[in-house]
Amino acid sequence: MISTMVALKIMGLVASSTGILVTYRSMPSPAIRSKMMKIFKLGDLAVKHKTKNREIINYPSIVDVRVKEDVKQIIFNLPDGLNPEKVVKHIWLFKQKFGEHIELHSKSTKIFILSIYQESIKPFNYEYKDIEKKIKKAVLPIVVGQSRSGLEVYDMLEYPHLLIAGETGSGKSTQVRSVLSTLIQYCDTDKLKLYLADLKRSEFHLFRGIVNEVVYDSNALYKVLVKLKKEMKKRGDLLNQNEVAHVSDLINPPPYIILCIDEVALLKKENEIMEIIEEISAIGRALGVFLILSMQRPDSDVLDGKLKNNLTVRMAFRHSDEINSRITIGTGEAAYIKQSEKGLMYLKKDGLQKVQAPYLDLKDAKKLLQPFQNLKEVEVTVTNDIEQHQVFGVLEP
């Protein structure tokens, strides 16, 4: 065993000195093995079965330990029959043993990677020129922030509707500001229309005269939603006539539309409004109409049912407790983000990932968006079905 360990470590060191590999692998040290076993025992992370004479307990097995520059990774395998969700729920136990700066990822329903870092992800400032290089391929780029593996960016065309939640002062408004600022700088005005609703009247004044419309109360928002509903109906007819599945398959696709609502929970009693928002979440993707919704407390009345499931991406900044965190991301993790960790979040997309949002303050955002001020508002209208049919036509095979 010892000779294998030495051999593997030496292999790694030799390789890293040639610059080919920076990772070396080793068998778990007794200290790691003992900590992991304690976690498995305390959390009852095991499969038990009885034979005639005794009880057999199968714990997860450590299959590998990898050491990179700033991270140690312990890879372990679950025994058949152990629910991976039970392992995720016990992340607090892993933290008690290995410290706060850990991440737990499942590679499959059986294989887990526990990553142990020296320190937390550092806060950083929003710089469009750094971001620009990473978003070139996206149509509607959403810049999430810095994860352990670099800048996290995704395309809204692939992951259509976004929920941003977190308690007051956790970094939501800053994130909405930087997400919208990126979209404004990156997308041509004839390719993207932005509608914003600021029900707290605190944030979106920044975007007045830049986006298509900013509204501040539910009556005005209702008018916008009715307009979008009509637009979706026309776009649906258009897809039908042209026999295509998505507006981007049309020869002249209409502009994408993003509706961003700050503090959507304030609308929970506005049934007509919530109905149209739900409708957008259900059918908007194919029609090129997308939602960005933010809220302080993830309200289960608002998020129950269809809407929550259709919000395919969730950013959970610090939450007040585990129950609220579970509503947003399905686990209690966001309740353990410290109050001092501004802009830190859990991103729920394909899995769960810890990400630090970029910091863009109001003054800098104003400066950044200055060149986009006073652009003429261009209304989104699809003239009429027949005309559109001729204009857009179907893509040549």
Ligand X SMILES: Nc1ncnc2c1ncn2[C@@H]1O[C@H](COP(=O)(O)OP(=O)(O)OP(=O)(O)O)[C@@H](O)[C@H]1O
Q: Which residues are annotated as a binding site?
A: 166-173
Give the DSSP per-residue string, 243-306.
T-SSGGGBSSPPPEEEEEEETGGGGTT-HHHHHHHHHHHHHHHHHTEEEEEEESS--HHHHTTH
Task: Tell me which stretch binds ligand X (CB under 6 A): 80-88, 108-116, 231-239, 355-363.
Answer: 355-363
Q: Residue 189 burial by CB count (10 A; 0-12/13-18/19+): exposed, middle or buried? A: middle
Q: 72, 229, 342, 389: which one contacts ligand X (CB under 6 A)?
A: 342
Cα–Cα dist 132/128, whole Å: 6
Does 298 contact ligand X by CB under 6 A?
Answer: no
Q: Which residues of 101-124 are buried (b: 16+ CB within 10 A; e: fewer)?
A: bbbbebeeeebbebbbbeeebebe
Task: Tell me which stretch binds ligand X (CB under 6 A): 58-66, 148-156, 171-179, 325-333.
Answer: 171-179
Q: How far is the CB of 295 from ligand X (least distance, A)?
A: 9
For residue 315, give the 3-state DSSP assignment. strand
Cα–Cα dist 355/228, whole Å: 33
Task: Tell me which stretch binds ligand X (CB under 6 A): 31-39, 106-114, 168-176, 227-235.
Answer: 168-176
- Ranges within 41-100 binding ligand X (CB under 6 A): none
Q: Residue 182 burial by CB count (10 A; 0-12/13-18/19+): exposed, middle or buried? A: buried
Does 324 contact ligand X by CB under 6 A?
Answer: no
Cα–Cα dist 307/324, whole Å: 17
Q: 359, 368, 380, 392: which one contacts ligand X (CB under 6 A)?
A: 359
Site string for ligand X, 94-123 (x = CB under 6 A): -----------------------------x
Q: How far is the CB of 361 from ligand X (least distance, A)?
A: 7
Does 343 contact ligand X by CB under 6 A?
Answer: yes
For ligand X, give the closer residue by CB, 169 or 305. Answer: 169
Q: 83, 118, 120, 168: which one contacts ligand X (CB under 6 A)?
A: 168
Q: How far is the CB of 151 from ligand X (least distance, A)?
A: 13
For ligand X, give the closer residue by CB, 171 or 298. Answer: 171
Helical (H) or strand (E) element with 163? strand 162-165
For ligand X, give the closer residue by CB, 346 or 359. Answer: 359
Q: 174, 182, 281, 324: which one contacts ligand X (CB under 6 A)?
A: 174
For ligand X, give the closer residue by CB, 146 or 310. Answer: 146
Helical (H) or strand (E) element with 230? helix 218-242
The site that binds ligand X (CB under 6 A) totals a number of residues, namely 15
Q: How many CA atoms lie within 13 A of 90 on its CB side?
A: 20
Annotated binding-site residues for ATP read 166-173
- What share of residues in the chain are helix, strand, coil (percent, to 5)? 40, 25, 35
- Residue ranges that bind ligand X, judged by CB under 6 A: 123, 166, 168-174, 296, 342-343, 357-359
